[in-house]
Amino acid sequence: MKKYIKNGKECVLCHTRKKLIQITPEELIRQEFVLKLKNEYKVPLELIDVEVPLSYYQKGKQGRVDIIVSGYDEEHHQKIPLLIVECKAPSVEITEKVFEQIMYYDTFLEPLVMVMTNGCETLIYTWDHSEERYREVQSIPVYKDLISGLPLTYIEQASDHWDKQNHLGDIHSNLDFLKSEGAIGDDSDAKWVSLVMNMYNLLYDDSETAKDLKLAEKLFISDGGLRYTTFGNAGGGSFTGDYRYFMIENSNGETELVSISIMGKMSTRNHPKWKNSNGFTLINLAIDNLEKSHLSLEYAIDRFVKVTGHKYSFWHDGTLTAGKKGRVKNELVLDYIQLRMPHLIKNNQIYLGTLDNSKPFTWEQNEVLQLFSNFIDDAMIRDEFRNNYIS
């Protein structure tokens, strides 16, 4: 793609808007996809629109659609959206959040085809009215097939069934498996492999679900299973992958999602951004609502879990970062939790629970339910403290 210089900045010529646009990773993907639609899928250029305000279709609606391919209604002299494309930079994974974004556009544009791409991966979906669900499509139809309404070819989803690993089995094969899944830290000692494997089996087998969690101030609604998404932290890092999510309700009747994963952290030395960082294994707890989503707790198993035989006890010292205000004194956090949720405090530390690792963890075990109930209580009260501290 030919590049130009304007005001000292690299630009590309937008083929639909006929003007120079400053180059960004996302803009390159957008312009490349416009050319692909024109050349490979034979879409007339005049029926491709880029960066379309949603307010064009519905007054007051916020946001912009990256690319819209339209048909033309001769009777009413207007364009009809047939295909929409959400473009992301190559560094941005196509997660559930991207899918939610394009579903938002779909609710009132109602195109036949929805495309999500970051240049490395392209996913194509449509709404199947007969089954009342979104289904993945094999390929983008050429324009003449799109406007004629030829049936789309669906991709049949493979079974999600997988066989759990024996957490007490061969330590080397379990370690290799966890590394391949990104579920154990670079620096995590071999002594953690059986615990991490057991926890991995519990969280990522969504054929078994938690029926109830005893939360201190929230009402458990359901175990939603797995979602592929990403959450960021105050330091600018992010963790992308599968999360087990739970729907809970607060005293105002509002619903929140709490997502939990077990992920390995990379080890860094003299890194320009991450400096020196230990590659621990983390239990991540994230909270999201309509306004925002974020990691509330990155629990380092290597630092805080105490081992006595087959018993693994989960403790925490109250370490917390409050946005731009940085690290908060541990005693302030512990005092606040002692006041608000005293059941989490033991021996002047946060105590979350103990698990017996000699047997597979299941959602029917009281100690498992108690541990994750306490994890969620801790994540919620940390957010409450953080919000009060920042304000």
pLDDT digits (tens, 9 = 90+) for 273-285: 667 788 999 999 9
- Least confident residue range of 117-121, 327-331, 344-348, 386-390: 386-390
User: Taking 70 as the threshold, does the pLDDT of residue 161 lie above it?
Assistant: no
What is the rounded average pLDDT for all residues in the chain?
A: 91
Q: Is 347 exposed, middle or buried (0-12, 13-18, 19+ CB in 10 A)?
A: exposed
Q: Which tokens is 138 given?
A: 């094999």
Q: Are residues 104 and 197 in the same domain?
A: no
Is 209 within a domain?
A: yes
Q: Are residues 264 and 313 in the same domain?
A: yes
Q: Does residue 36 form part of some domain?
A: yes
Q: Tell me the C-alpha distance between 268 and 276, whole Å.
A: 5
Return the bridge partners of 225, or none: 245
Location of structure tokens 């057991």: 198
> Could you read off the pLDDT of 194-205 as tens digits, one per residue?
999 999 999 999
Nearest-angstrom CA–CA distance, 107 and 89: 24
In a domain, 18, yes or no: yes
> According to the model, what pLDDT value does residue 133 have?
87
In a domain, residue 162? The reply is no
The pLDDT, as a whole number, for residue 167 is 96
DSSP structural state of residue 152: P
Confidence class of residue 289 from pLDDT cuts 50, 70 and 90? low
Is residue 94 within 8 Å of 116, Cβ to Cβ? yes
Residue 66 Cα distances to 15, 29, 88, 131, 371, angstroms? 14, 10, 9, 28, 44
For the segment 9-67, what is each residue's pLDDT rounded down to a tens digit? 999 999 898 899 999 999 999 999 999 999 999 999 999 999 999 888 888 888 899 99
Instruction: Give the strands of the sheet with 305-308, arranged side by side.
Output: 305-308, 311-316, 349-356, 345-346
Q: In whole angstroms, what is the distance from residue 362 CA to residue 369 CA?
A: 9
Kindly state the DSSP code that residue 155 receives in the 8-state scheme: P
Pick the closest to residue 250 from 384, 352, 374, 353 (CA basis): 384
Res. 382 pLDDT band, cuts 50 70 90: very high
**141 and 7 in a common domain:** yes
* pLDDT value of position 188: 95
> Could you tell me the end-to-end alpha-carbon distance of the chain, in angstroms, rounded to an integer?
48
pLDDT at 243 over 60: yes
Quote the CA–CA distance of 10 and 21 in Å, as a whole number. 8
pTM here? Answer: 0.78
Q: Are 277 and 298 in contact (CB under 8 A)?
A: no
Distance separating alpha carbons of residues 92 and 112, to the nearest angstrom: 25
3-state percent helix, strand, coil for the chain, nearest multiple of 5: 30, 35, 35
- Which residues share a beta bridge with 287? 258, 294
Reported as a pLDDT band with limits 50, 70 and 90, residue 157 is confident
Residue of 81, 71, 36 lying closest to 147 (CA atoms): 71
Query: Do residues 304 and 187 both lie within one domain?
Result: yes
Confidence of residue 111 (pLDDT cuts 50, 70, 90): very high
Is 46 within a domain? yes
**pLDDT score, position 159:** 58
* Claim to verify: residue 135 and residue 183 sit in the same structural domain: no
Residue type, 294: H
pLDDT at residue 291, as a whole number: 61
Last residue of a domain, one of 95, 117, 148: 148
pLDDT at 290 over 80: no
Same domain assignment for residues 335 and 370: yes
User: Do residues 222 and 246 lie in contact, with contact meaning Cβ atoms separated by under 8 Å?
Assistant: yes
> Quick one: tokens of 349?
């530390």
Indicate if 94 and 14 belong to the same structural domain: yes
CATH code: domain of residue 82: 3.90.1570.30
Q: If pLDDT is split at 50, 70 and 90, which confidence band does 94 have?
A: very high
327 exposure class (CB count in 10 Å sphere: 0-12, 13-18, 19+): exposed
pLDDT of residue 364: 96
- The structural domain count of the chain equals 2
% of the chain residues with pLDDT over 90 = 68
The arithmetic mean of pLDDT across residues 230-249, rounded, is: 86
Could you identify the residue written with the tokens 């646009």? 21
For residues 141 and 277, state if they share a domain.
no
pLDDT of 252 reads 86
What local confidence, expressed as pLDDT, does residue 119 receive? 94
State the DSSP string of 100-123. HHHHHHHHHH--SEEEEE-SS-EE
Q: Which of 148, 179, 195 is the last residue of a domain?
A: 148
Among 124, 122, 144, smallest CA distance to 134 is for: 124
| Residue closest to 253 by CA, chosen among 281, 228, 219 | 219
Do residues 109 and 50 both lie within one domain?
A: yes
- Looking at the domain assignment, is residue 156 inside a domain? no
Range of the domain at 270: 171-390
Between 254 and 248, whose confidence is greater?
A: 248
Nearest Cα residue to 376 out of 228, 235, 252, 219: 219
- Does the residue 164 lie in any domain? no
323 within some domain: yes
Domain boundary among 117, 148, 179: 148
Q: Answer yes or no: is pLDDT of 158 > 80.
A: no
Asked if residue 184 and residue 69 are part of one domain, the reply reads no
Q: What is the rounded average pLDDT of the residues 249-265?
A: 91
Residues 202 and 351 in one domain: yes
Predicted confidence at residue 274, as pLDDT, reads 65
% of the chain with per-residue pLDDT over 70: 97
User: 272 and 384, same structural domain?
Assistant: yes
